[in-house]
Amino acid sequence: MTIKLWLAVWAGRMAGWVSRLTGRGGSSLPGLVARRLEPATLTQLVRHLSWGAILLTGTNGKTTTAALARQIFEEAHRRVVTNRAGANLIEGLTAALVQAERWRVAPRAALALLETDEATMPRAAREIRPRVVTVTNFFRDQLDRYGELSTTVKYVARGIEELLPEGRLVLNADDPQVAGLRRDGVHTVFYGLELAEPTSEGDAEAGDARFCPYCGTALQYRRRYYAHIGHYACPGCGWERPQPRVRVVDWHPGAGWATVEVDAERVTVPWRLPGIYNLYNLGAGLATVVAAGLTLEAIQAGMERFKPAFGRMENLTVGVARWWLALVKNPTGFNQVLATLAESRLPSFGVVVAINDHYADGRDVSWLWDVDFERWLPRLSAQHWYVTGTRAYDMAVRLKYAGLSLAHITVETHLEAMLERLKRQERFETLYVLPTYTALLAIRRQLTRWGVTEHFREG
């Protein structure tokens, strides 16, 4: 421990306290401050951890996957440091480690489980030298920041080169671009879905990557779970979906459980999150802890107490209504949320969409045009849409073009004003609230002011 690192950590933590006292979120600030004083803060703090670090990346599902894996690790008495949802640039990762230090700069945790976006992946991996890298999926997301999908895949491939020599890779077998990241000589744990009941709901959706990563031929699918995710083979070079070690084989959403096979063993776990896409988060979380050496008993114990992650279909009571919150940030995620609403079978509900275009949301909101509202609107029993945020009018225009009558849309760009109005509404018993990232933070602040956010505290 150098004096320089000690100073960096404590300057960072002081900055964090001050920003919290003054009521600003600023969860990356401690990292920013610490790195000014000691650029190698992240590298040095990870080296202090007795077990090491896991790096989690991909377009969707990182937060749920991280929350699930963390729960299982902690139930197995391994203390985990994680970064806050959305604080996944290098300063956010550093902040997580800085906040986990004690006075004498001995870590509180045995391992770090850090989620990062794809563009930050090479740098994060270089500084962290992870023992496990988990990749969830690749979808068109925030193109204005990252360019084309192939660039995203290359970023992650470069990050994987920084795995420790004994490190392990956890890959989604059902996403061809992810499965194609496998490298000779790197121990890989694949995960995937092998449900007996085929779902065909994905057929009409526009996938992003249906071409073989090795020869570029269009892939053929025996089964597709959604978008380009499923069981595929390449007619060009013969490459096909790898056989996964961790397999979700059964799911009963009504009863709230899922069955997973790991090698030749089988375990049934409580599982209440909606949608096929969340089953992939289950697979990713379990494959991650398996790669880190945990047993099936530990998995079962940890799963008993799992609660969904921050912002993913949390629910709470506001006035006379139940509000369900789900983060939306790209077309695939938004489509999945709409699919979930279509499944809800409620006779009527209201939908609140809050679209901001701050940096953390992605400045370009043209992705709203890739959300398949034309397909979902007729299947939803939503009776009214409340549209808010800095880009409320873009969203309203999108809904209008999808065929929704303006009589069913209320627009209010000022988010707080919209929330005050919704707090008093008595028309709907159920409101689905779908914000982008910074809008979610703003909603959470407002809910805190109202005193209704107890279960929003991050653990």
Residue 215 in contact with Zn ion, rule: CB under 5 A:
yes
Phi/psi of residue 132, nearest 5 degrees? -135, 135
Give the Å distances, CA to CA, from 4 to 93, 104, 257, 412. 19, 13, 50, 49
Q: What is the DSSP string of 345-412?
A: --S-EEEEEE---SGGG-S--GGGGGS-HHHHGGG--EEEEEEESTTHHHHHHHHHHTT--GGGEEEE
Residue 218 in contact with Zn ion, rule: CB under 5 A:
no
Query: What's the closest the beta carbon of residue 153 comes to Zn ion, in angstroms?
Result: 15
Nearer to Zn ion, 212 or 227 (CB): 212
Strand partners of residue 262 = 246, 265
CA–CA separation, 332 and 103 (whole Å): 44
Report the residue from 85, 234, 289, 368 that binds Zn ion according to the rule CB under 5 A.
234
Binding mask 74-113 for Zn ion (x = CB under 5 A): ----------------------------------------
Binding window for Zn ion (CB under 5 A); candidates: 37-45, 52-60, 235-243, 336-344 = 235-243
CA–CA separation, 354 and 434 (whole Å): 6
Residue type for position 203:
D
Residue 249 in contact with Zn ion, rule: CB under 5 A:
no
Nearer to Zn ion, 236 or 275 (CB): 236
CA–CA separation, 378 and 204 (whole Å): 15
Query: What's the closest the beta carbon of residue 203 comes to Zn ion, in angstroms?
Result: 22
Report the residue from 1, 144, 187, 214 that binds Zn ion according to the rule CB under 5 A.
214
Strand partners of residue 221 = 232
Residue 209 in contact with Zn ion, rule: CB under 5 A:
no
Window 125 to 184, contacts with Zn ion (CB under 5 A): none
Query: What's the closest the beta carbon of residue 238 comes to Zn ion, in angstroms?
Result: 7
Helix ranges (H only) for 264-323 are: 276-291, 296-303
Binding window for Zn ion (CB under 5 A); candidates: 173-181, 234-242, 287-295, 440-448 = 234-242
Nearer to Zn ion, 214 or 359 (CB): 214
Query: What's the closest the beta carbon of residue 235 comes to Zn ion, in angstroms?
Result: 8
Query: What's the closest the beta carbon of residue 184 comes to Zn ion, in angstroms?
Result: 17
Tokens 């950590």 correspond to 9
Query: What's the closest the beta carbon of residue 61 comes to Zn ion, in angstroms?
Result: 26
Residue type for position 5:
L
CB 50 within 8 A of CB 136: no
CA within 13 Å, CB half, 121: 24
Name the nearest CA neighbour of 192 among 206, 207, 175. Answer: 175
Binding window for Zn ion (CB under 5 A); candidates: 90-98, 127-135, 216-224, 250-258 = 216-224
Query: Could you tell me which residues come within 8 angstroms of residue 184 by beta carbon, excluding any fewer than 6 positions away?
Result: none
Nearer to Zn ion, 217 or 268 (CB): 217
CB 113 within 8 A of CB 66: yes
Query: What's the closest the beta carbon of residue 243 comes to Zn ion, in angstroms?
Result: 17
Nearer to Zn ion, 212 or 434 (CB): 212
Name the nearest CA neighbour of 58 among 134, 120, 136, 153. Answer: 136
Binding window for Zn ion (CB under 5 A); candidates: 5-13, 112-120, 232-240, 249-257 = 232-240
Query: What's the closest the beta carbon of residue 209 comes to Zn ion, in angstroms?
Result: 13
Binding window for Zn ion (CB under 5 A); candidates: 61-69, 153-161, 236-244, 400-408 = 236-244
Tokens encoding 154: 């290359």
Residue 236 in contact with Zn ion, rule: CB under 5 A:
yes
Nearer to Zn ion, 236 or 319 (CB): 236
Residue 1 in contact with Zn ion, rule: CB under 5 A:
no
Nearer to Zn ion, 6 or 211 (CB): 211
Residue 237 in contact with Zn ion, rule: CB under 5 A:
yes
Nearer to Zn ion, 239 or 376 (CB): 239
Report the residue from 189, 212, 318, 355 that binds Zn ion according to the rule CB under 5 A.
212
Count, residues near Zn ion per rule CB under 5 A: 8
Nearer to Zn ion, 221 or 437 (CB): 221
Binding window for Zn ion (CB under 5 A); candidates: 100-108, 213-221, 296-304, 383-391 = 213-221
**Nearest-5° Cα angle at 121, 78 to 189:** 55
Query: What's the closest the beta carbon of residue 175 comes to Zn ion, in angstroms?
Result: 15
CB 283 within 8 A of CB 273: no
Nearer to Zn ion, 212 or 380 (CB): 212
* CA torsion, ordered 343, 441, 451, 115, to nearest 10 deg: 80
Tokens 């025996």 correspond to 222
Contacting residues toward Zn ion, per CB under 5 A? 212, 214-215, 217, 234, 236-237, 239
